[in-house]
Structure 1
């Protein structure tokens, strides 16, 4: 990807291509140091290794709530969430036979339903994705999850490269190119089970006083270099600040899904000290080209505050590393990392809303640029939802409400649902969507009344909970306004 200086706009071109012969692509993923043991060229952690060695005919394998399989049109296994792909090759062959049989009739297989399972298919180019789920998720929700898996693969290889390889060799084993990526895909599927950001198609921001956030953004704005497109500051997997080159939005918008993939790639990395320089494709921004991501933690050994700088120049490592050095100096001079470290996460007890246990709130409009970066907020989980099992159970309830209220056949504005352990209310207006969890005996009238109080609290705290403006900078040459010589230019 290149930026055309004479036009002052961004021109995207495929910078590098994957090769069947070498199985390599620029700054191979192995350099990202994904942790864990080797499994036929993949890196996996101890739990992932146990899942990989799981006997596919065992009861434990059958009892997993959701399986995900990826294979090629030729039936070649590429990935399985549980069990070894080689041991599952015959199973994947049956899946591909189903796909081919339906295609022969001029149709595409979408889903299969049984009493206990939903099987969903997604075909993207030469790749086939299959989800076998025992959850209450809808077909559309499962298909969106498969789409995220596809986008994560594209983020590492690019769509153009995948298509080109399979055009040349339909039986190509894509695992040769996905070296080190199994931990990334495992992590993505794990986080989708417990993180509502995927369901809401939004990012969660770190609560921070607007003055502190603005000061951090200003520092990022000043540390720039040609071909730097985005600068992100992340803390505890929450977005603290994002600044971008002015002309980027003229070409495309930054989507939450792309940020989710980027965050997941960082989570899968084992590095702490030092830095990573790796290619990454943002599929919803441009699915055929790479950005080059500079990733470094600013607070080792805690490693909670992460700086991500995205450049379009693969040779810009040292220039971008210099930006990081300037940012560190500015942070140190203002003691800025303490602003992040001292930020107060909030709990429902801080809000004084009766009987409220938890909520998800996504505004439809925070600011003019909100449509470029949808955001949401939620309190920390408290007693009753702190275990992973209970978190997933609550999110399953939210997902069910989300599917019902956004039904394509019968969309709703308000749903009141009394479950065994809690009462839930979903509320969608032109200004927001909210999903709230109350104690079991709360009435509909009382729940709506309490949510009105919650909305007032959110409005009061809006500047702290959300990024309310997206700072921009320019790396394109601009005419020097202090000079009458139109040929005299400078870089801001």
Structure 2
């Protein structure tokens, strides 16, 4: 939605049915603005309405839970900026006025915004502004990274910032130019670009597209070279450059990377196995009575009985939203154990990690602490398989 009660995107319902709602929200916003203030939120019963004022846009979310609403709106705004950039938004409204229909510039991008919204529901790493890592042996991951670095370095041209290999919305390898960092939220924008456009997943097809990464530079564009080099494989290579004429050069780099990967038959077989049949970390052997565990920056979740229904998984997802909200609201909290009728919850926050676990309601605090200690020791032993501890640079 933007200033003059118009809208540029809505998730549910039909436009003609929602016009009166947009008008009502616009009246609320305008009335508070006349008072010299800014409307941020209001609630009615268990319905919570949250606003986010960014540039000329007013983002609005209606939810039955109040946790993480700002984070969801920020992610949505980042997705819009990835198409237009902050500078373009400012210029458009300066030249065209507040009544300009932004949908003209956002035409065809609903699928990416939908992908972003859907990812919030399905990919719990977004709660923590984290990314999921594809499980892989440390030697294989190091070989992938070193291959990308050697091929990019050998090309001897400036402008390339990042190189990624991803699959299943997980990062297999990431390399970067020295002094530059790829923010996890920007990584999710790239993941949404891939998952929201099936035409990109054509084997041997190369795509060259401008994209704004708001947490890197929200005022300008960089250029993404995207390729799925192997037939019937989910592996995707992404190379990011600041120069718009780098397509042919990066296409040659891609060929060298693919050639070097395929020349090592032992590695290539292991790599394809990791892509085709990824093996996630299982907590059942470490914590046989544990139900569920989530560590930010980790790879995935480990579900086991009795979290078998969609409703139970959604309840657990909402529980993590509440826990994350609590941790953010109480930054000095380090350890918390909560007993509930259906489960017990252990939260442990340190300077290095944040651990959130859901246990059986019969599990005591002492037992839960002992199991978590075993879990952390096991993860420490296998950390290079499930984490990217440092990002190689070139």
The normalised TM-score by structure 1 is: 0.74
- Conserved in 2, the CA contact under 8 Å of 1:405 and 1:414? no
2:94 aligned with 1:167, yes or no?
A: yes
2:260 aligned with 1:338, yes or no?
A: no
How far apart, in 2, do the equivalents of 1:298 and 1:137 lie? 43
The residue aligned with 1:119 is: 49
How far apart, in 1, do the equivalents of 2:211 and 2:302 lie? 31
How far apart, in 1, do the equivalents of 2:254 and 2:119 lie? 28
How far apart, in 2, do the equivalents of 1:326 and 1:239 lie? 20
How far apart, in 2, do the equivalents of 1:309 and 1:382 lie? 37
Q: 1:282 to 1:168 in 2, by over 3 A?
A: same
Return the match for 1:228 from 160, 182, 203. 160
- Conserved in 1, the CA contact under 8 Å of 2:41 and 2:48? yes
The residue aligned with 1:102 is: 32
How far apart, in 2, do the equivalents of 1:337 and 1:345 lie? 20
Deviation at 1:430, TM superposition (A): 2.3
How far apart, in 2, do the equivalents of 1:299 and 1:422 lie? 44
- Conserved in 2, the CA contact under 8 Å of 1:79 and 1:85? no
How far apart, in 2, do the equivalents of 1:386 and 1:185 lie? 29
The residue aligned with 2:314 is: 392
- Conserved in 1, the CA contact under 8 Å of 2:280 and 2:299? no
- Conserved in 2, the CA contact under 8 Å of 1:235 and 1:340? no
How far apart, in 2, do the equivalents of 1:276 and 1:385 lie? 40
Q: Deviations over 1:139-158 (max 9, x none)?
A: xx101100100000001110
SS at match of 1:207: coil
SS at match of 1:202: coil
The residue aligned with 2:355 is: 434
SS at match of 1:241: strand
Q: 1:314 to 1:387 in 2, by over 3 A?
A: farther
The residue aligned with 2:73 is: 146
Return the match for 1:328 from 232, 235, 258. 258
- Conserved in 2, the CA contact under 8 Å of 1:229 and 1:312? yes
How far apart, in 2, do the equivalents of 1:352 and 1:287 lie? 44
Q: 1:269 to 1:389 in 2, by over 3 A?
A: farther
The residue aligned with 2:334 is: 413
Counting only pairs closer than 5 Å after superposition, residues 53-452 of structure 1 correspond to structure 2 as 71-134=1-64, 136-138=65-67, 141-169=68-96, 170-224=98-152, 225=155, 226=157, 227-246=159-178, 248-249=179-180, 253-271=181-199, 272-273=201-202, 274-302=205-233, 304-335=234-265, 336-343=267-274, 344-349=279-284, 351-362=285-296, 375-385=297-307, 387-408=309-330, 411-452=332-373
SS at match of 1:72: coil
- Conserved in 2, the CA contact under 8 Å of 1:360 and 1:377? no
How far apart, in 1, do the equivalents of 2:47 and 2:80 lie? 26
How far apart, in 2, do the equivalents of 1:148 and 1:341 lie? 32
SS at match of 1:425: strand
Deviation at 1:466, TM superposition (A): 1.1
Deviation at 1:453, TM superposition (A): 0.7
Deviation at 1:388, TM superposition (A): 4.3
Deviation at 1:419, TM superposition (A): 3.4
Q: Displaced runs of 4+ in structure 1, greater than 6 A? A: none
Please give the root-mean-square deviation of Cα atoms over the aligned residues, in Å. 1.8
Q: Deviations over 1:8-41 (max 9, x none)?
A: xxxxxxxxxxxxxxxxxxxxxxxxxxxxxxxxxx
Structure number having the greater strand percentage: 1
- Conserved in 1, the CA contact under 8 Å of 2:222 and 2:241? yes
How far apart, in 2, do the equivalents of 1:390 and 1:232 lie? 34
Structure 1 runs not aligned, ≥5 long: 1-70, 363-374, 474-492
Structure number having the greater helix percentage: 2
How far apart, in 2, do the equivalents of 1:146 and 1:436 lie? 27
How far apart, in 2, do the equivalents of 1:137 and 1:217 lie? 41
Q: Deviations over 1:220-259 (max 9, x none)?
A: 112224221110011211111111122x42xxx3211111
Structure 2 runs not aligned, ≥5 long: none
How far apart, in 1, do the equivalents of 2:101 and 2:310 lie? 35
SS at match of 1:348: coil
Q: 1:377 to 1:137 in 2, by over 3 A?
A: farther
- Conserved in 2, the CA contact under 8 Å of 1:354 and 1:450? no
Q: 1:384 to 1:176 in 2, by over 3 A?
A: farther
